[in-house]
Amino acid sequence: MVYDTIGPQFFLTHQEPEAEGASSSFPTGASSYDYDVFGLSERFFDVVQAVDQLLYSGFDQSQLAAVARLVNTKAEHNMSERCYDQPTRDRNSHCKKSLYAVLRYLPFTPRLQMLYASLATAEHMTWHASHLTEEDSICHPSDAEAWRHFDRTHPNFALEPRNVRLGLCIDGFAPHGQYGRTYSCWPVIITPYNLSPRMCMKSDYMFLMMVIPGLSNPKRLIDVYLEPLIYELLQLWHVGVRTHDHAMNQAFMMRAALMCTVNDLPAYGMASGWSTAGIMGCPICMDDTRAFYLQHGRKACYFDCHKRFLPQDHPYWRNKKDFIKNRQERNIARPRLTGEEIRVRGEEYSSVMFMMLN
């Protein structure tokens, strides 16, 4: 079953221990160090062998077969989750429900290593460095100025094209629909941007890290749930992980960097820590906002706040008729804050962030 799921394109070959004096069975150009440095094949076959373990001594079925039979029974008889869990529930009625939320985190480092372990994907992981694009056109994030600025800022990282550039997506949805039970869950997904657009935009290469459980919106506490993800990103950025590249038949130290986040405005507010509600909801203007409260509705309004982002010779700057009457734009929008300026501002709240994480 496991071999059928992996498919024939997965070229990890299990090597049996050789007798003393026997010749090496590694391919030409590779060494035992390249294959055994991270023990990927050994760990994989340990998992395969664990599938055949018996449920208990004297029983004739394996753990996998028993679990598959239970899941099949649940699906055939359309059993609810509550009905399925009832026989295994603790009979002690005095125990209270746990107040701790259960977070199941799925590390993405082994999945990045699998992209290089399979010949079907390993040769595409350097597409971003070898493709050609017409001037003044963008078909991939690697064609943008932000990508090139990152390469100039971190030249050691850019020298190795096999290092992985990542994109992070956080968004919430109500699984029970508009009229169902109130519940909000938040999937966290990471995508490697090394691949071409036709590959990195497919669901096969969008890795689910976790699902932040409900019942309510995590809001400003989302950084607590993202702590294992942040730790793994820091490990891949500062240290890296030994990985075997099947396309080049060699091992290398793979590092990764988070290039961008993809969110709607409410999720952006939670991930960045900047509130996107009220008159200071614009993350660009911040305290230099031109928003105002409506006189009767007392709601924040951003009408006629966009003209100062246009070039000064744009006709909207002098338009007093189609926007707020008799008002001409005279102020230029301030430039975006640099990363260093944002870090300096964030240091004012370091004690609060430390208390939240602990």
Helix, strand, coil share of the chain (percent; to 5): 40, 15, 50
Domain span at residue 217 reads 109-263
Residue 95 falls within a domain, yes or no? no
**Under a CB-based contact definition with an 8 Å cutoff, are residues 296 and 307 in contact?**
no
Residue 229 lies in a domain: yes
Which of 89-98, 185-194, 220-229 ranks highest by mean pLDDT?
Answer: 185-194
**What local confidence, expressed as pLDDT, does residue 116 receive?**
93
Q: Are 151 and 158 in contact (CB under 8 A)?
A: yes
Check whether residue 222 and residue 323 sit in a common domain.
Answer: no
pLDDT (0 to 100) of residue 1: 46
* Number of independent structural domains in the chain: 3
Q: Among 263, 287, 315, give the residue marking a domain's end.
A: 263
**Range of lowest pLDDT (4-18, 37-51, 132-146):** 4-18
The answer to the question of residue 198 being in a domain is yes
Mean pLDDT over 338-357 rounds to 66
Q: Does position 308 have pLDDT exceeding 50, yes or no?
A: yes
Q: What residues contact residue 109 under an 8 Å CB cut-off, 6+ apart? A: 232, 235, 236, 241
Residue 103 belongs to some domain of the structure: no
**Nearest one of 260, 222, 231 to 103, comparing CA atoms:** 222
The verdict on residue 282 lying in a domain is yes
Cα 54 from Cα 63, distance rounded (Å): 6
> Binning pLDDT at 50, 70 and 90, where does residue 19 land?
very low
| 116, 122 contact by CB (below 8 A) | yes
Domain match, 353 and 294 both: yes
Q: Among 54, 88, 122, which residue terminates a domain? A: 88
What are the pLDDT digits (tens) for 316-329? 888 888 887 777 77
Claim to verify: residue 115 and residue 254 sit in the same structural domain? yes
